[in-house]
Structure 1
Amino acid sequence: MSDGSITPPYGTPPETKMMGANSKRYNKGGGDNTGNVLTGKQEHYLKRELISRQTKYEISELNSPTALRRFGAPFKSELGEVSPTDSDLPILRFIFVHHVRKFPFLDQAKEKEFWQDKLQVFLESFATKQISSSEDRLEETKRRKLALKCEKLVELMMNSGIPTASGYEERVGFEEIEVVDRDARDESLMVNVPEGHVLNGWDVNVVSVRQTSVKRTVRYHTHAEFLIRSKHEKHGEVLVGRRYGSFKQLTKDLKKEFPGKVFPPLPIKTKASSGGSTGLLTPSGAIKDDDSSSISSVSTTASVEVTSRRLSAPFSHSRSASASRGSRSVSRNRSSLTSERGDSPPQENSAPLWRENQRVSLRAYLRNLLKNQQIATSAAMKTFLTDSPVKLNREEEADEQRRRLADQARVDEQMKFFEIARARARELDIYMEGFRREIVEANGLTNLFAEIKEKNHISELSPNYQKFAEWARIEVAATIYHLFLAEDNSPELFAQMKRIHSLIPYAVLKNIIRIANPAAVMSGVLDLFLAQPFKSRSLMQRVFGMAISDGVNQVQKAIDALWPKVGDAVLCDKIKQFAEASDDVRDIIREDAAADDVDILVAILRSDLLEPELTPEQIGTVFNAYVAWTNAVNNVDDEMRQGAVLFSHLKHLLKLYTRRRDKMMMQALIEEPVTLQLFRDLFHIFYEPLVRVYKSANVYNSITDFAHFLDDIIVVVEKAQKQDLASDPNKTVQAFIDLCARHEDNFFKFIHEVHLHDNGLFSSLMGWIEDILAFLRNGPKRGALDMNKLFEDAVEQKVIDPVKAKAEIDSLIKWQFDRKRWHEGKTRQKMASGRDNWSETKPGGFSVTDFGLEPEDLADLAIDEAEMDEDLAFEEEGDDADLIAVEQKRRNRQAEILRRTAGQPVKPPIEELHKMGDVFLVALKNVLSED
């Protein structure tokens, strides 16, 4: 290793080839220091680790009441002005000064009146309230999730924006992993194919729909039964029949099995049919059926008389055909449609596919459920897909074949659409390259919006901008096609859009906005709610105070009900003291619990920091309850559960006291005068400028334009569904592009009018965005971080051991390599359930590198978020929840997380590199200390 060219265990990095030619750059002193020279990858991951550590520290420090005082301007401090090089939070200070404070709207806020006297006072008051953390509430709070997201975004910004002085910085790229399937672009279309779409071991398809009739009292009632063919890797093929009500019951069963879990919505019941042989579907007929109250499939048993016949001919209004069937006929009212159900096979291209839209939407629903491994392995799903198998008759087999052809036609048409749209997009590449150059240059966005402000129509724009508008037209057209035609759930989404569109009174809404003065109205409403006559509480304080007080009272009632169940006032009082104790006391007790690996409740009750101390009898009672609790959680046993009841009540009491304290702290925060003052200032800063713009720009006219656009979408989609365009995919593509072309001038007029009357708001916003892009492309004005010099200085000052430090850097590089390879493998497994590859329909030109970001850094952010999402958020349980069951579910979830992340590389322990923290912080402050 003396030559300085360290070879990671997975291959020789390309920068080592440059070392010979650039050795003088690294060895400025003339001596033999090459042993302390870092390669490009080592520089990057050393910088990344130290920035990550500093970011975590700064984000965590925001919880401190004194954080803003150490921030520097515009916040005040007892020590006077805090210079940039003296700030304890250089990263957050840099982001705040250069990007938050300069954000349009906020750049007009006054330093003392807003930042110091209101925002700083409010945030410091909030920090002193010590709102409970995720660990206290046994759940992942929104604050914790937001902090993690912010932490990762700040790391991405700093890692991408701050370069290293050597210029040879390099990341681990996906091209090194060599597991990416370069020919997988069409695999995303697997989501719509009838078979071969395996999700967590299940290959499921709704193959057909048959009519069943059930005799209740006198009449026969007709139902649609959806035939589901499923294959599983552990057993063979199974065919079952399920009515719509069975799908509703499945959802209910899953909610019982996984309480608190969010499930995709069940498609609404629709009786639309489609044409016989193509993939573009249309509602063209309906049959009255009676499954609205159905909860299970109808099986052919002796107790229930069922007929199962396919609708193999076009629908007819003939009542004689129905009467000729005798006792096995189905009664219908005069508005219903009947079907000819002869024994002859269906005629291709003539008979509608009965309930076809419902079939494909239910198939999409099942596949959406099966994407979740917990649901796919659940007892409810297995029962639904395998119980009461059926067999197809000759007519049903023919119907399955017709629907298989319809599925294939749907996929083929979708492929043709994308191929044509992709070809047209490629034609724009040469123009998009010129547009890309204009945008990524300095002031590119400002120049674009300046031209939009000057020109009245798209046709007046410069050629490159016109070609960009043409690209946008293709992209929006492809998106509309994708939403309302291409997917299994498209018919339902289209129907929902039509319903919502029909309900909105656009004319009334337009006139209200045209006549009313929202600024004056909102200002008056705000004055009404925030007024404090004779210095009494405002209406807003009273409203929020009453709501929170009701919550506190409900929690207190639950606490009062629990005290007699516990039967020991000392135990209850110690729990109350812990909930109301200072952060220091609670931290000591948490550390005690972690050190001894016991439940936090045990540490609370045995702690001598909370009075009074327990007697030996009470300690024995708590210990026995804890042992019973642990056994009851690990072993489902009624006798054990009874012994664990006391511990369960105590844990519930801790949760309630914590919740009660949080609500009381929030109530106190609302009562503070600064809260109302801050709310009023934020309203004036953000709302009033926007209202002035929309009023002067006559935005109300755009409401009518938007309504006409939706009307046009409905016409075009319905025409495509009726297959008038299906014979030629070029016509389908052109129909959606023409749709966008008819309305693009109205959209341009809206942007033009808003920008024309924005009083410089758009220009300020574009300038703000360009400042961020300039930082990402060029870094801070004070230069780059010289990681080699930092490393050499740390070695010379005996701060670190160079051998150990380089070994840790290499272990970080290997971890990133293994981590990306593992996640890429997981991604490939999920690729079949992905959506269509819309990037193929876009012209080339833009990449993240144009905006100063590295693809590898974005990939790392995506991996970090994926790992963060693996830690499932726990839904809040009710006050009367069985805490033993809750704890069992929590441990099951943790076991599920461990199972899903089995084999995931674990970050190696880092100690030596963290010793460079002080040296690195000084350099980081110097780099980020620009005014």
Structure 2
Amino acid sequence: MQTPQQLPVRMGLRRGETEASYMSLPRPGALLTGKQEHYLKRELIAQQVKDEIGELNSPTALRRFGAPFRGDKGEVAPQDSELPLLRYLFVHHVRTFPFLDQAREEEFWQNRVQVFLESFASKQISSSEDRLEDTKRRKLAKKAEKLVEIMMVSGIPTASGYEERIRFAEMEVVDRGAQENGLVANTPEGHPINGWDVNLAGVRMHTVKKRLGRSYQEAEYIIRVKTAGEPEHYVARRYEDFKAMHDRLRIELAGKVLPPLPKKNSADYVMPSFMEDYDDSTSSISSEEALPRHRHDLLRSSRKHGGESTSTGESSGTPPSDSATSLTQDGETFDTTDRLKPMGMRDRMKKVVPGHKRKTSAASQLSVRPLGSPRVSTDQSTMSAGAYPPVLFREAQRVSLRAALRTLLQNQHIARSTSMQDFLVKNKLETLNEEEKTDMEHRKLVDEKRIEEQKQFYEIASKRAAEVDVHMEAFRREIIERNGLRNLFASIKQKNSISELPPEHKKVAEWLRIEVAATIYHLFLAEDNSAELFGQLSRIHSMFPYTIVKNIVRFTNPVALFPRVLDVFMAQPFGTRSLLQHIFGMAIQDGINNIQKSMNALVTHKIQEPEYPAKIQAYVESDEEIKQVVKSEANNKNIDLVLAVLQSSKFGNTLSYDQLSQAEDAHQAWKNAVENVGSERTPNAELFAHMKQLLKLYLRLRDKPNTIKLLRNLLEIFYEPIMRVIKSANVYNSVTDLASFIDDIIKTVEESQRQGFSADPNQTVQSFIDLCARHEDDLYKFIHEMHKHDNGLFDALMGHIEDILNFLRHGPKGGSLDMNALFLEATEAGVIDKQLATKEVNSLLKWQIKRKRWHQDKTRRKMASGEDPGMQMPGFNAIRPSDFGLEEEDLSDLEDDEEEDGWSDSETDGEDDADGILAEQKRRARQARLKAGAGEPKKPPIQELDKLLPGFLHRLRMVLAE
């Protein structure tokens, strides 16, 4: 029997680490320590994964893959596979996927999947050479490469059983303040962005006179601006000024795809009840009641008159309503329960009283009639309009414009642009009157109260989630044990409602209810842009054809279901935009139109030579063979691709001598400007930079339709099994349930908006939890019915997931990799030099220690700077990656690789840089930084260990040959 010191060390063993731990001696009879085994295996697997993923870029890769794909070699034995890692993943985790396991080999895998993937490999999706940087397609490939590496490194064990990783003490990550850091961006001040600390501090209304003596009220947003070393100042801007600034940015930064401004929103709000600077007589008026829109002159007048108010001019015998408070003004009646909007013509005609009286002053015309509301006095005398609490005009618009302005300033080019500087600096306000100062103080208090309420919401929600946290440990144990997921879904299949579930599963449902409630609150109420997002939800919901979709799901054959649903969304009656175009237009802000506008701005205002854009567009639309010829010419001549395009006679009209001379001069000026940072830019250099940006925009515009077609092909591959389950389960009523749920979300959010900050945070939390509780049974019924009528599909799906988890925990059935035997055989055969190979393995260990410390320091810096926002509810924190055979360090490495590849939003995407010269300088600097390490420890050169790859590949094939 082995002693505790001799027990095999699998991935889960934790030990204290020192920087010299890699120097520990191997166990007797072995050449490598446990750490050396692991990181040697990791290095060799990483090299093999990189080679195999790279092979997938070839259109002929699947022909060499073996069954079930069509190929020249026919069936390929596992021991002879050129892609052993990908073959194992495909055979055991892709082909066995429940939706695909019954697929016919020739019809599905060869005629559909193989044709699709081979066409994708050869599709005209722009390459990194076209876009002058790694495209998202390549970034996805890198991410897939890292995921496969993590899975194989974690899943395939070594034969010794002593494999272990470098570990540090638990990282000092404090989640408590994470959400508070996430709220910093919404604070009124003290949040500089690229040198600008801005806040839309107030709103002032002024009257704009029109013809024939008419006038209307217009809002001006008072912006507080502060920069380093300068005193703060204020400017006033209308919504139209924001639009004009946005248009000027589009021209100045031609080619830059700008985020859109929020839509106009004229909603006003009454000062919340926590304010005590208005008269006590207002206590009888609910703070959630809003005042009539577009009546700001009357309200100001009423404030100036104080309590001066007369009768409304209506007959005192008019019977009061029993449902709401109303206002009368100039003979028009407003209902406070509907934001006091004017009543319709038919309703007004019903209330016309014979004997029209002369109109009196605005202050005397605005009055309140108590109509039975418990919050309003039942006295029949009118109440002074001056008794109303202060009104925050255009409050929703102010907050959404602040979010949009700060979003624009996050881009360095926009923050430094002339248009933005003029917008924030020109026409400063000399002084602010008392009314404006008071309004700004009110809004500052509202901003602070809003953040305080958000913190209280999350604290209360977290406490309620923590109450069920004690039950999550039992749930965690059930999930990580063998068949835990399958048992969970078996319980859902057997029980008809949540109330019948076992106690631990009820607690999980309760935790999920709180989590979803917090998510809804965060999306539609907590953020500055929540009003805009909520508006998008409302508009999409209002036009979604729930009834049509429900009937299609109910009556249509499953095979024809997907095309029918697509037909509904893509139909264009009378040549108008399709429903899908409307929905996506609102959801993604018409991205293609934004690209087209940017292109038009480049062509019209910057390039001003129609032959150049025509030539570039002809290149983008040409065949791939011609593109490759032009790229080869550019490489051979050592010139930029854009200049090679303009010089080519293979497409478009041939340019004149003067045009070619100008293009060559522009290319040379651009090269000088890029290579000499800080040098003066000439018009020719700017011209060439604009042409390069235009090429990227043309490519992006071409890629979008191709990408959508590929996505549709992918959906068609997987939809049929899902549609059959939906049809057999008779879940068409769930379409109505979904509509009801979104209806309820809209009502709950609107009610919270009306209440503002007068509501108790506990009540706000409870209202969103109750929202989820009202519809959780519908969701459970949908899942239950799907599972009940799935003909074993869900059981197979859970079993498939369990198989993946078992691979991560225990490895393949074919055994394990004997790294010591590999190292010994290679040493004895003279393939490697033992000392050099051992030195390289130790250098890898040193590098991994430095990388982990670098990552730990970077994580701490993120937490300190608030760059890592997001709230983690208690509950699933108990479930760790190590429970499923994965390691936190590997997942951290994946995050690091994403940031290196530019996946992180913190890096400005080069393709969206409007300053073409600066963009090229940044691209070159980023490449140099990545080569230099960008602060990250540099991986040591590996040469001797690469000689182990042939022997390692042979052993790997034997282990994975199932």
Residue of structure 1 in register with 2:844 after alignment: 809
Is contact 2:513–2:769 with CA below 8 Å preserved after alignment?
yes
Shift of 1:457: 0.9
- By how many angstroms is 1:753 displaced? 1.1
1:497: Cα distance to partner? 2.8
Q: Cα offset for 1:521?
A: 6.1
Letter paired with 1:227: I
* One-letter amino acid of the structure 2 residue matched with residue 894 of structure 1: R
Verify: 1:153 aligned to 2:132, yes or no: no
Alpha-carbon distance, 1:468 to partner: 0.9
Residues 1:510 and 2:516 aligned together: no
Query: Which residue, 258, 261, 265 being the options, matches 2:260?
Result: 265
Q: Retained in 2: the 8 A contact 1:71–1:93?
A: yes
- Work out which of the residue numbers 764, 767, 775 in structure 1 matches 2:807: 775
Equivalent residue number for residue 13 of structure 1: 17
TM-score with structure 1 setting the length: 0.74
Question: 1:404 and 1:347, CA in 2 relative to 1: closer, same or farther beyond 3 A?
Answer: farther
Q: Aligned residue for 1:255?
A: 250
Q: Please state whether the residue corresponding to 1:186 is helix, strand or coil.
A: helix
424-433 or 685-694, which deviates more:
685-694
Matched, 1:134 2:116: no
Q: Which of 218, 235, 260 in structure 1 is aligned with 2:230?
A: 235
Q: Distance in 2 between matches of 1:406 and 1:320?
A: 34
Specify the SS of the correspondent of 1:264: coil
Task: Note closer, same or farther for the CA distance 1:111–1:413 as it changes in structure 2 (3 Å cut).
Answer: same
Residue 365 (structure 1) aligns with: 404
Displacement, 1:864?
A: 1.2
Supply the distance in 1 between the matched residues of 2:566 and 2:544 (Cα, whole angstroms).
Answer: 27
What is the aligned partner in structure 2 of residue 851 from structure 1?
Answer: 884
Say if 1:574 and 1:605, in contact at 8 Å, map to a contact too: no
Contact 1:726 1:732 in 2 (8 A): no
**Structure 2 residue matching 1:195: 3-state secondary structure:** coil
Q: Compute the displacement of 1:355 (Å).
A: 1.7
1:824 and 2:864 correspond: no
Q: 2:753 aligns with which of 716, 721, 730?
A: 721
2:475 to 406, 414, 435: 435
What is the CA distance between 1:794 and its match in structure 2? 4.2
Matches within 5 A, 1:410-809: 410-504=450-544, 506-517=546-557, 519-520=559-560, 580=625, 599=640, 627=668, 630-631=671-672, 683=716, 686-723=718-755, 726-796=758-828, 797-800=830-833, 801-802=836-837, 804-806=839-841, 808-809=843-844
Q: Aligned partners of 2:450 and 2:52: how far apart in 1?
A: 53
Distance 1:383 1:769 in 2: 57
Instruction: Give distance in 1, aligned partners of 2:50 and 2:398.
Output: 50
1:246 and 2:241 matched: yes
- Is 1:398–2:438 an aligned residue pair? yes
Supply the distance in 2 between the matched residues of 1:756 and 1:487 (Cα, whole angstroms). Answer: 40
Letter in 2 for 1:62: L
Aligned-pair CA distance for 1:380: 2.9
- For 1:50-85, what per-residue CA distance to the aligned partner results, in whole angstroms no more than 9, with x for missing partners? 323222211111233442233233235444432222
Q: Which amino acid aligns with 1:718?
A: E
Query: Residues 317 and 385 of structure 1: is their aligned pair in 2 closer, same or farther, counting only changes over 3 Å?
Result: farther
- TM-score, structure 2 length as denominator? 0.72
Equivalent pair of 1:313/1:351 in contact (CA under 8 Å): no
Residue 287 (1) aligns with residue 293 (2): yes
The 3-state SS of whatever aligns with 2:949 is helix
Q: Counterpart of 2:290 in 1: which secondary structure?
A: coil
Aligned mate of 1:199, from 189, 193, 198: 193
Indicate conservation of the 8 Å contact 1:426/1:842, yes or no: yes
How much does 1:219 deviate? Answer: 4.4
| Residue identity (%) | 49
- Summarize deviations over 1:580-636 as a string: whole Å, max 9, x none: 3798x999878867xxx65468999999xxxxxxxxxxx999998864663476676
Is the CA contact 1:275–1:350 (under 8 Å) kept in the aligned structure 2? yes
Cα gap change, 1:580 to 1:514, in 2 (>3 Å): closer
Contact in 2 for aligned 1:75/1:115 (Cα 8 Å): yes
Q: State how far apart, in whole Å, the 2-side matches of 1:316 and 1:456 are.
A: 62
- Contact 1:282/1:718 (8 A) holds in 2: no
Kindly state the Cα deviation for residue 362 of structure 1 after the two structures are TM-superposed.
1.9
TM-superposed CA distance for 1:808, in Å, is 3.5
Structure 2 residue 351 is the aligned partner of structure 1 residue 351:
no
Secondary structure, counterpart of 2:424 in structure 1: helix
- SS of alignment partner, residue 708 of structure 1: helix
Query: Which segment drifts farther, 457-466 or 816-825?
Result: 816-825
Offset at residue 894 of structure 1 (A): 1.9
Mapped pair 1:68 → 2:73 = no
Size of the aligned set, in residue pairs, is 813
Over 3 Å counting, the alpha-carbon distance change for 1:134 and 1:433 in structure 2 is same
Structure 2 residue ranges without an equivalent (≥5): 1-14, 276-286, 313-328, 335-340, 343-360, 367-384, 568-602, 649-659
Of 90, 93, 108, the residue aligned with 1:96 is 90
1:867 aligned to 2:933? no
Q: CA deviation at 1:471?
A: 0.9
Q: Deviations over 1:190-232 (max 9, x none)?
A: 2332222333333322211111234455444421111111222
Structure 2 contact 220–236 (Cα < 8 Å) conserved: yes
Q: Quick check: 1:172–1:816 contact (8 Å CA) kept in 2? A: no
Contact 2:851 2:937 (8 Å CA) reproduced: no
How far apart in 1 are the matches of 2:673 and 2:804? 55
Query: What does the per-residue CA deviation read over 1:23-48, in whole Å, with 9 as the maximum and x for residues that have no partner?
Result: 6x63316xxx5xxx3462x5444433
Residue 891 of structure 1 aligns with an amino acid whose one-letter code is E
CA contact (8 A) 2:669 2:685 kept: yes
The alpha-carbon deviation at position 257 of structure 1 amounts to: 3.8
Counterpart residue number, 2:923: 894
- C-alpha contact (below 8 Å) 2:485/2:798 kept by paired residues: yes
Q: Which residue in 2 is equivalent to 1:222?
A: 217
Number of the residue aligned with 1:532: none
Deviation at 1:236, TM superposition (A): 2.8
Q: What are the residue-to-residue correspondences of 1:165-180 with 2, within 5 Å? A: 165=159
Using the TM superposition, give the Cα deviation of residue 826 of structure 1 relative to its aligned residue in structure 2, in angstroms: 5.8
Change (3 A) 1:503 1:113: closer
**CA spacing shift, 1:44–1:513, aligned 2, 3 Å:** same
**Residue 414 of structure 1: CA displacement?**
1.8
After TM superposition, the structure 1 stretch with the greater mean CA deviation from structure 2, 453-462 or 78-87, is 78-87
Aligned to 1:613: none
Contact 1:260/1:875 (8 A) holds in 2:
no
1:433-455 per-residue CA deviation (whole Å, 9 max, x = no partner) reads 11111112122222111111111
How far is 1:756 from its partner?
Answer: 1.3
Name the CA distance, whole Å, in 1 between partners of 2:273 and 2:78.
67
- 8 Å Cα contact 2:308/2:363 also seen in 1: no
Partner Cα distance (1:605, 1:725) in 2: 62
Q: Point out the more displaced range, 911-920 or 690-699.
A: 911-920
Q: Distance in 1 between matches of 2:804 and 2:101?
A: 15
Does the CA contact (< 8 Å) of 1:477 and 1:737 recur in 2? yes
C-alpha separation in 2, matches of 1:908 and 1:476? 43
Residue type of the alignment partner of 2:294: K
Partner Cα distance (1:414, 1:279) in 2: 16
Name the structure 2 match of 1:83: 77
The CA deviation at 1:92 is: 1.2
Match of 2:873 among 825, 840, 844: 840
Report the secondary structure of 2:453's partner residue: helix
Contact 2:198–2:223, Cα closer than 8 Å, also in 1: yes
Is the 1:310–1:395 contact (alpha carbons within 8 Å) kept by the matching residues of 2? no
Contact 1:278 1:409 in 2 (8 A): no
8 Å CA contact 1:267–1:365 kept in 2: the answer is yes
Counterparts of 1:856 and 1:426, CA distance in 2: 27
CA 1:316/1:895 → structure 2, altered by over 3 Å: closer, same or farther? farther
SS at match of 2:272: coil
